[in-house]
Amino acid sequence: MHIQWFPGHMAKSLREIEANLPLADVVLYVLDARAPRACLNPVFNEMAAHKPVIYVLNKADLVTGASVSAWVGELSQGGRAAVAVTGTASGAAQKILPLIQKMAAEKRAKYQNKGIRISLRGIVIGVPNTGKSTLINTFCGKAKTVTGNRPGVTRGKQWVRVSEYFELLDTPGTLYPKLSDQAAARHLAYIGSIKDEVTDIPALSRDFLGELSALCPSALKDRYGVVYDGDPDTAFEEIARARGLLHKGGAPDTERAAAAVLDDFRKGRLGKIALETALG
């Protein structure tokens, strides 16, 4: 299966992001802690090459503390900052704000010397479904943007005034024209950053089982009581029976089982599983 997804609205969004980047004092580059490397969009990397960047490793609740620390270490290099957060829990904004202030300190000091207190601007970028809208909401203290667990929900430009001295721009989750690294594309699909409709879910889930068995051999046993012997189709049959996912005649519905495995992973029900390891 070859994964590719770059609809016209993403090309438009990339242009919008490029146009707005010069206005921002700091870039909040949101990554999913389960697959931070796959979430690095080469077009963003190029556009933000000369901007102060804070990598926000979101969904930290879905991986282990050791994985989070290793990634924060890898990402906070070359003058960039990194912080791990759980956007759905309280306190995410409080963890990010000091880094924003630090990154923008020079600009702030310059104006403070003239007696002016400037308003800082942060732009939030990331591939779809990494939790950008959720994070913006934590800054605002109430739901101001529409969030949803499917890629492509966040649309259009929304500047949000967080305080008298701070504004955030939410941007639509955006991929890049060619997903030439298909291993990364699969990771993006597993974490829900690629629309399910453009993939083949059973095939994707088969690939996922292969990776899962290497990363966490006991995951299927723990969740479904199924021992994985290397054959995904047998595993889907057993999972379907274990979960009562049956066709009318009683045969196991392997397609629904395949979808259920991915859904369970996305919601953290297979345990704390990082798909990617920091170089460390």
Residues that bind ligand GDP (CB under 6 A): 58-59, 61-62, 86-88, 126, 128-134, 147-149, 153-154, 173, 268
* DSSP character string of the chain: -------HHHHHHHHHHHHHGGG-SEEEEEEETTSTTTT--HHHHHHTTTS-EEEEEE-GGGS-HHHHHHHHHHHS-TT-EEEE--TTSTTHHHHHHHHHHHHTHHHHHHHHTTT--PPEEEEEE-STTSSHHHHHHHHHSS--S---SSTT---S-EEEEEETTEEEEE------S----HHHHHHHHHTT-S-GGGS-HHHHHHHHHHHHHHH-TTHHHHHHS----S-HHHHHHHHHHHHT-B-TTS-B-HHHHHHHHHHHHHTTTT-S--SS----
Q: How far is the CB of 78 from ligand GDP (least distance, A)?
A: 24
Nearer residue to ligand GDP within complex by CB, 134 or 199: 134
Q: How far is the CB of 153 from ligand GDP (least distance, A)?
A: 5
Structure tokens at 64: 């282990």
Name the packing angle between helices 201-215 and 232-243 (round to 10°). 100
Nearer residue to ligand GDP within complex by CB, 173 or 232: 173
Q: How far is the CB of 129 from ligand GDP (least distance, A)?
A: 5
Q: How far is the CB of 60 from ligand GDP (least distance, A)?
A: 7
Q: How far is the CB of 116 from ligand GDP (least distance, A)?
A: 33
Q: How far is the CB of 137 from ligand GDP (least distance, A)?
A: 8
Q: How far is the CB of 88 from ligand GDP (least distance, A)?
A: 4
How many angstroms separate the CA atoms of 139 and 168, rounded?
Answer: 9
Nearer residue to ligand GDP within complex by CB, 168 or 240: 168
Name the packing angle between helices 92-103 and 132-140 (round to 10°). 90
Nearer residue to ligand GDP within complex by CB, 221 or 267: 267
Nearer residue to ligand GDP within complex by CB, 126 or 202: 126
CB atoms within 10 A of CB 215: 15
